[in-house]
C-alpha cells in the first residue's frame, strides 16, 4: 500500500478493529432489540466503520448520511454548517450516530442537539475512537471502540488533508508528513 511508507506506528490493527466492531455490533443488537435505530453516519470518516458495524447489527435498521463542517473562525461556538442533511425525518426515531472519532465533541454536541430538537425519541453515539483528553463539550459517547491519547491519527476513514482514509488500520504519521 502506498501509504505504509508514511506511517510511524500502528495504533489499532485491522484485526483489532474487526473484533471490536463485532463486539459493538452485538451490544447494539441487544440494546436496540425492541426499537431498531435510525443510524446516522457522519461523512466522510465514518464510512469504513459503518460498513463493518452494520454487518453485526442483527436488526431491521435503516441508515442515512449527514455531512457537516465547522464554520471557519467560529469553531469555539460549536456552530456547524450542514453540507448534506438527512433525507430521513428523525421525529419519533431512536437515532444512533456513527462517528469515526470524538475529539473536542463540538460536532456531536451540536448534531445530537439538533436531532433532539427535531423530535428524535433518543440519541446515542457509537464511535470507533475516543480522544477524551481533548474534550471541551460534555458529550459522552455511548459505545466506544478504542480510546486514544492526544495524538493525531489516520486510517480506517480518518484523514489528514483528505489522504490516508483507505488504510485498513489506525496509525500515526511520520513527522515529515505534516507539511
Ligand atoms: P470534534 O469532536 O467536533 O472536535 O470533531 C471531530 C472530527 O474531527 C472527527 O469527526 C474528525 O473528522 C476530526 N478529527 C479529530 N481528531 C482527528 C484525528 O486524530 N485524525 C483525523 N481526524 C480527526
Ligand atoms: Mg468527522
Domain ranges, ordered by start, for the chain: 14-149
For 20-40, what is the mean pLDDT? 98
22 to each of 14, 39, 88, 146, how far by Cα in Å? Answer: 12, 16, 26, 13
Q: Give the pLDDT confidence score for residue 154 in this predicted structure.
A: 98
CA atoms within 13 A on the CB side of 26: 6
Tens of pLDDT, residue by residue over 33-58, are 999 999 999 999 999 999 999 999 99
Which residue of the set 103, 130, 138, 142 is catalytic? 103
Judge if the beta carbon of residue 105 lies within 6 A of ligand 1. yes
User: Mean pLDDT score of the chain, rounded to an integer?
Assistant: 95
Pocket test for ligand 1, best of 78, 100, 153, 156 (most atoms within 8 A of CB): 100
Distance separating the N- and C-terminal Cα atoms of the chain? 21
% of the chain exceeding 90 in pLDDT: 91
Distance, CA 132 to ligand 2 centroid (Å)?
A: 15
Answer whether residue 75 shows pLDDT above 80: no
Q: What is the C-alpha to C-alpha distance for residues 105 and 42, in angstroms, rounded to an integer? A: 13
Q: Give the pLDDT confidence score for residue 166 in this predicted structure.
A: 97
Q: What is the C-alpha to C-alpha distance for residues 163 and 177, in angstroms, rounded to an integer? A: 11
Distance, CA 129 to ligand 2 centroid (Å)?
A: 11
Let me know if 103 is a catalytic residue.
yes
Pick the atom of ligand 1 nearest to 78's CA. Answer: 3
The H-or-E segment that residue 52 falls in is helix 47-53
For 157-171, what is the mean pLDDT? 97
CATH for 14-149 is 3.40.50.2020
Tens of pLDDT, residue by residue over 87-142, are 999 999 999 999 999 999 999 999 999 999 999 999 999 999 999 999 999 999 99
Answer whether residue 74 shows pLDDT above 60: no
Q: Give the pLDDT confidence score for residue 179 in this predicted structure.
A: 77
Answer whether residue 73 shows pLDDT above 60: no
% of the chain exceeding 70 in pLDDT: 96
Amino acid at each position: 500500500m502506498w501509504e505504509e511508507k508514511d506511517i510511524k506506528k500502528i495504533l489499532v490493527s485491522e484485526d483489532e478493529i474487526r473484533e471490536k466492531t463485532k463486539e459493538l455490533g452485538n451490544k447494539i443488537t441487544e440494546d436496540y432489540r425492541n426499537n431498531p435505530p435510525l443510524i446516522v453516519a457522519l461523512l466522510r470518516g465514518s464510512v469504513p466503520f459503518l460498513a463493518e458495524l452494520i454487518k453485526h447489527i442483527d436488526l431491521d435498521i435503516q441508515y442515512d448520511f449527514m455531512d457537516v463542517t465547522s464554520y471557519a473562525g467560529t469553531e469555539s461556538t460549536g456552530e456547524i454548517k450542514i453540507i448534506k442533511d438527512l433525507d430521513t425525518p428523525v421525529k419519533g426515531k431512536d437515532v444512533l450516530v456513527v462517528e469515526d472519532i470524538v475529539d473536542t465533541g463540538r460536532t456531536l454536541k451540536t448534531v445530537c442537539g439538533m436531532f433532539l430538537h427535531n423530535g428524535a425519541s433518543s440519541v446515542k453515539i457509537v464511535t470507533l475512537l475516543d480522544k477524551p483528553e481533548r474534550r471541551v463539550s460534555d458529550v459522552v459517547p455511548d459505545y466506544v471502540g478504542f480510546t486514544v491519547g492526544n495524538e493525531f491519527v489516520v486510517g480506517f476513514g480518518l484523514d489528514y488533508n483528505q489522504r490516508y482514509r483507505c488504510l485498513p488500520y489506525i496509525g500515526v504519521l511520520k513527522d515529515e508528513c505534516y507539511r
